[in-house]
Amino acid sequence: MAKTALKAGSRFKSAVSDAQVMIVKAPAGEFELGCGGIAMVGGTAAAPEGVALAAGDAGEVLIGKRYVNADESLEMLCTKGGKGTLSLDGVALEIKQAKQLPSSD
Amino acid sequence: MNIATILDMAAEAFGDRVAVACGDSRYTYAELREAAYRAAAAIKASNAQYVALLDVTSPAAPIAIFAAAFAGVPYVPLNYRLTKPELNELIERVAPAYLITTPEYAKLLEPREGVQIVDREAFLSLPATDAPLPEIGDDPRAVAVQLFTSGTTGKPKAAILRHENLMSYIVGTVEFASAEEDDGIIVTVPPYHIAGISAVLSSTYACRRMVQLEGFEAKAWLAACREHKVSNAFLVPTMIQRIVEHLTEISEDANLPALRALAYGGGKMPLSTIQKAMSLLPHVDFTNAYGLTETSSTIAVLGPDDHRAAALSNDPAIRRRLGSVGKPGAVELEIRDDNGKVLGAEEAGLVFVRGPQVSGEYLQQGSQLDADGWFPTKDRGYLDAEGYLFLDGRSDDVIVRGGENISPGEIEDVLLSHPAVADAAVVAMPDEQWGEGVAAAIVLKPGASADVAELQELVKGKLRSSRVPQKIIFKDALPYNELGKILRRLIRQDFI
């Protein structure tokens, strides 16, 4: 995908695995989201053909985990797990540690 | 961002796990999603703008919550204890609607164009359709849930919670799939209460089995906990009180070996009740959750460690935390005075909160947030030096006596400390000299006696003379709503 604006609520899927994410919050501007070294595609768009997971990417996107960039201006939720490392403009994203509260409801 | 994602994820990750157990009926997470899909197709076909539920707790509640989200319309659970005119007025405000109910409640409804009444049993047995799977909406600003406030001061207000409010609450405070295979939660607040809705969302996100009871009764609750090996529970303080009374009466052990965590909220917890509950259930982790409809549920929690530390401490500053609602969770919190100045520790004022889970919005009245995004909860309270929040009643309940703000809570606590007093409520009464004066309604314990002068003397000795109720009346019982909230407006009428 060309660089695109990221909006809270929008969904992207990996072009190389089953992984899917939902944007929780995003900085202003245009960015490229990647998974396994290949640009992710917007919710309903078809995945490009002939692309493959980057060699040596042993990463795995885990369902229910939140992924953030270094300053946490971008946060996404993995809604479906799959292979590949998530990235924003080529920089790998990290898992955000949940601020879990004692179960209150 | 859409709360339907929560069910989608649970069904993907733990489709075979039991999601809902109610009587003999069971739904796995995959079946719950399938039922929500079918319902969403029916809702879409009806062209309804709202999905309303007028019913006690049943599997129809979680199905309707998610089906409404899949269909892209708000979910509106209605209070089945309202009178016929009240109910019909609310239904008029949500038409055209897809209204799920039972024959018993359907009798109360006037026929209305645009309102499709669907029997609960029919709703639970909708046939599969060829309709394509619903595309989950991605507008984070879409309204997920609309709840009518109880309307104690006027017409009920329609509080709206957007998908972004609820999702940020769930994603920010619950770890996905954190429940163990055998975990189960029992929630006995009605479906129209915010705690009932957030429990469905939290439990689904945690992939935890939900055990449903139609209503609350202490004996039935204990039996259900044992039968379903319930590990987590949510109760309002009045329900805990009933359980404590029941266990004390039959003088038996609680016998709830599977129960690990008990959360409570939705009203003030009497100190003596939580102390008794902790001693009857020493192995259980207690959590006090403070929240409002307008904040998508919980904003502060007093966790299990805080409960134990407070109960065991000899330091009065730590011991009193058993009466606190704990520290803010995923929101910022400030105490402000009447002029908006932010107050320091131990200074009582108005509680303000800010954060993505805070909607603070009503359909007709609009957003109540200030320019910087802060929501006035209208609760009064103060923070201690370590940030524990103590609540002190609603700002509407404050008695303004000659310019001095008097909070009913502290006077009630003193009155309740009298051995003959079973219950006490302090309210404002008209006073020519002071504008408002302090009045108290007292319920005495059976066979006990106390006179007015004695109670006035007690308050004078512990507080100061401005706090002394100038009029005290004795009653057989005080009026509460069905969730144990005291109805002060009714008590005030006794002093006019």
Q: Is the pLDDT reported for residue B483 higher than 90? A: no
> Which residues from B are below 8 Å from A76, CB to CB?
none
Specify whether the CB–CB gap between B77 and B197 falls below 8 A: yes
Q: Please indicate whether residue B134 or residue B204 has the higher confidence score (pLDDT).
A: B204
Single-letter code of the amino acid located at A69: N
Specify whether the CB–CB gap between B37 and B134 falls below 8 A: yes
Q: Under 8 Å CB-to-CB from B114, ≥6 apart: which residues? A: B95, B96, B97
The average confidence (pLDDT) of chain B is: 94
Distance CA B288, CA B271 (A): 12
Chain A residue with CA closest to B197: the answer is A105
In a domain? residue A16: yes
In a domain? residue A104: no
Domain boundary assignment for chain B: 4-306, 307-396, 398-495
Q: Which of A43, A44, A77 is the closest to B171 by Cβ? A: A77
Mean pLDDT of B9-13: 94
In a domain? residue A105: no
pLDDT of residue B6: 96
Specify whether the CB–CB gap between B368 and B294 falls below 8 A: yes
Q: Please indicate whether residue B51 or residue A44 has the higher confidence score (pLDDT).
A: B51
Q: Is the pLDDT reported for residue A1 higher than 70? A: no
CA B84: distance to chain centroid?
24
How many structural domains is chain A composed of?
1
Q: Can you point out the beta strands (E) in B257-408?
A: 261-264, 285-292, 297-302, 327-328, 332-336, 349-354, 361-362, 366-367, 375-383, 389-394, 399-401, 404-406
Q: Is the pLDDT reported for residue B297 higher than 60? A: yes
The tens digit of pLDDT for each residue in B330-378 reads: 899 999 998 999 999 999 999 999 999 999 999 999 999 999 999 999 9
CB spacing of A105 vs B187 below 8 angstroms: yes
> Which residues from B are below 8 Å from A65, CB to CB?
176
In a domain? residue A9: yes
Give the residue numbers spanning the domain of A69.
Answer: 4-96
pLDDT band, very low/low/confident/very high, at B421 (cuts 50, 70, 90): very high
Q: Please indicate whether residue B252 or residue A26 has the higher confidence score (pLDDT).
A: A26
List, as one string, the DSSP characters of B4-63: HHHHHHHHHHHTTSEEEEETTEEEEHHHHHHHHHHHHHHHHHHT-SEEEEESSSSTHHHH
pLDDT of residue A104: 65
Q: Is the pLDDT reported for residue A105 higher than 80? A: no
pLDDT of residue A97: 78
Q: Is the pLDDT reported for residue A26 higher than 80? A: yes
Mean pLDDT of B228-235: 97
The tens digit of pLDDT for each residue in A38-97 reads: 999 987 778 788 888 888 888 999 999 999 999 999 999 999 999 999 999 999 999 997
Q: Please indicate whether residue B153 or residue B42 has the higher confidence score (pLDDT).
A: B42
Q: Is the pLDDT reported for residue B326 higher than 90? A: yes
pLDDT of residue A3: 87
Q: Count CA atoms within 13 Å of residue A13 on its CB side.
A: 11
Domain formed by B307-396, architecture: Roll (2.30)
Query: Chain B closest CA to A10's CA: distance in Å?
Result: 6
> Which residues from A are below 8 Å from B301, CB to CB?
101-102, 104
In a domain? residue A75: yes
pLDDT of residue B98: 98
> Which residues from A are below 8 Å from B140, CB to CB?
8-9
Q: Count CA atoms within 13 Å of residue B282 on its CB side.
A: 3
pLDDT of residue A102: 64
For domain B398-495, say whether CATH 3.30.460.10 is its number. Answer: no
> Which residues from A are below 8 Å from B12, CB to CB?
63, 79-80
Distance CA B397, CA B381 (A): 13
Q: Please indicate whether residue B152 or residue A51 has the higher confidence score (pLDDT).
A: A51
pLDDT band, very low/low/confident/very high, at B108 (cuts 50, 70, 90): very high
> Which residues from B are below 8 Å from A103, CB to CB?
174, 185, 202, 206, 232, 261, 263, 287
Q: Is the pLDDT reported for residue B28 higher than 80? A: yes
Single-letter code of the amino acid located at B337: D
Q: Which of A11, A79, A102 is the closest to B304 by Cβ? A: A102
CB spacing of B13 vs A24 below 8 angstroms: no
Q: Is the pLDDT reported for residue B471 higher than 70? A: yes
ipTM of the complex: 0.86
Phi, psi dihedral angles at B161 (to 5 degrees)? -120, 125
Q: Which CATH number fits the domain B4-306, given the four candidates 3.30.450.20, 3.30.1120.130, 3.40.50.12780, 3.30.465.10? A: 3.40.50.12780
Most confident among A101-105, B135-139, B152-156 (mean pLDDT): B135-139
pLDDT of residue A46: 80
Mean pLDDT of B471-477: 96
pLDDT of residue B350: 95
In a domain? residue A103: no
pLDDT of residue B407: 85
Judged by CB atoms within 8 Å, which residues 29-58 of A form the interface with B?
43-44
Chain B residue with CA closest to A10: the answer is B138
Distance CA B58, CA B26 (A): 11
CB spacing of A98 vs B175 below 8 angstroms: yes
**Percent of chain B scored above 90 by pLDDT?**
83
Mean pLDDT of B299-316: 96
Mean pLDDT of B207-222: 95
CB spacing of B301 vs A104 below 8 angstroms: yes
Q: For residue B289, give the 3-state DSSP assignment.
A: strand
In a domain? residue A79: yes
The tens digit of pLDDT for each residue in B238-268 reads: 899 999 999 999 988 889 999 999 999 988 8
Distance CA B293, CA B195 (A): 8
